[in-house]
Amino acid sequence: MKQNLKHLNKEVEALETRLLELVKQDQQQQLTLLKSIPGMGIKTALFLIVATDGFKKFETASQLCSYVGITPTIRASGSSVTGRSRISKVGNKKLRNLLFLCAFSACKHNKACRLIYERLVIKGKSKKLAFINSTPEIS
């Protein structure tokens, strides 16, 4: 089993290297821009490029947010609104989790993101919501 695990790890490493080569050939500029975002690692950047087909699947940022499942939804029944608004969670779960971890890392290591996070927590937002909203918009 140890030999099988070692062999599979080598295969995964070879596939990741090949994927990086392919993305660099076709989407080098996108990869460079994504890696420049605080908290964004190479694997997350590659996953984001592959999952969105180099962002060609979407015309607007709101379409991408809907695909990932981070758009707010309001729970309402008739004329009454029950509960707080939450993210929809209808979308690519793996990508949503990776982006949340990037936001967590950015809040921890980037001063601008940390200041936004702290301001949102002081306003009374939950810590999880503050993490999601604490990364500055990229233009």
Secondary structure class of 87 (helix, strand, coil): strand
Q: Give Cβ neighbours of residue 9 (< 8 Å, ≥ 6 apart).
A: none
Tens-digit pLDDT profile for residues 75-104: 776 666 666 667 778 888 888 888 888 888
pLDDT, residue 3, reads 94
pTM over cut 0.85 = no
Which of 42, 14, 17, 20 is CA-nearest to residue 98? 42
pLDDT over 90 (residue 132): no
pLDDT of residue 112: 82
Residue 117 has pLDDT above 90, yes or no: no
Residue reference for tokens 């979407």: 58
What is the tens place of the pLDDT at every residue in 35-76? 888 778 888 889 889 988 888 889 998 888 888 888 877 777
Q: What is the pLDDT of residue 40?
A: 82
Q: What CA–CA distance (Å, rounded) separates 50 from 44? A: 10
Q: What is the pLDDT of residue 2?
A: 92
The domain locations on the chain are: 2-133
